[in-house]
């Protein structure tokens, strides 16, 4: 298998990954955004005038092939990101809008309606007024627990049917502990084909 995040994986390997997920009973795959879908980190927001530079070539070649392959096999795909528009100034693109701009740049508008995005940075939802605004009864966990719970509820799926792909090991371990198939992107430079093997 290719080891570089910049190498485009063979189509047969992509289909093998999709088949393996299907064999595990996975129905939906949730991807982190920064350093999983992308090769470089956005910092959660990007100045509007720097968006073109941020987008240029900033996508995992594996993800470019994997997303259409998953959708073609009737998988559900979502995005769970800490990139948050909370308090982002009008001079910046942030949160869901940032992810949508990225998807439109690389995939056009064809997938836009199919892919829900949960964009929330836990540190922004620690005060009672903030976490209650999201319907939470306690401060948001420092993981993707909130994001995955929301998507499971939206799709009517159990944790075992929803996989997470993320470059933060803490998020991956928390998801695995909650019963999700969890895949770790250790190089933090875009998901690679060999990262698509669940840890649990």
* CA atoms of 90 and 58, how far apart (whole Å): 23
Q: What is the pLDDT of residue 2?
A: 43
- How do strand 117-119 and strand 162-166 relate by DSSP bridges? unpaired
* CA atoms of 52 and 67, how far apart (whole Å): 22
* CA atoms of 130 and 128, how far apart (whole Å): 5
SS3 content of the chain, % helix, strand, coil (to 5): 45, 15, 40
Q: What is the pLDDT of residue 5?
A: 52
Question: Distance of CA 33 to CAs 127, 129, 139, 160, Å?
Answer: 25, 27, 23, 21
**Ranges under pLDDT 70 in the chain:** 1-6
Torsion sign, CA atoms 187, 97, 118, 13: negative
The pTM of the full predicted model, rounded to 2 decimals, is 0.94
pLDDT digits (tens, 9 = 90+) for 57-92: 999 999 999 999 999 999 999 999 999 998 899 999
- How do strand 92-94 and strand 45-47 relate by DSSP bridges? antiparallel
């Amino acid at each position: 298998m290719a080891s570089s995040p910049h190498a485009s994986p063979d189509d047969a390997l992509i289909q093998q990954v999709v088949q393996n997920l299907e064999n595990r009973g996975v129905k939906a795959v949730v991807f982190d955004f920064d350093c999983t879908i992308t090769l470089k980190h956005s910092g959660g927001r990007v100045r509007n005038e720097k968006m073109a530079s941020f987008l240029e070539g900033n996508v995992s070649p594996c993800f470019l092939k994997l997303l259409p392959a998953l959708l073609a096999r009737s998988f559900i795909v979502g995005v769970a990101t800490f990139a948050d528009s909370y308090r982002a100034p009008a001079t910046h693109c942030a949160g869901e809008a940032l992810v949508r701009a990225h998807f439109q740049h690389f995939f056009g508008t064809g997938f836009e309606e199919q892919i829900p995005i949960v964009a929330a940075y836990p540190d922004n939802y620690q005060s009672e007024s903030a976490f209650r605004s999201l319907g939470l009864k306690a401060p948001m966990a420092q993981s993707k627990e909130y994001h995955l719970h929301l998507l499971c509820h939206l799709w009517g799926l159990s944790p075992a049917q929803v996989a997470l792909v993320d470059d933060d090991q803490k998020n991956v371990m928390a998801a695995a502990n909650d019963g999700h198939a969890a895949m770790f992107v250790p190089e933090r430079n875009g998901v690679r084909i060999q990262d698509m093997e669940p840890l649990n």
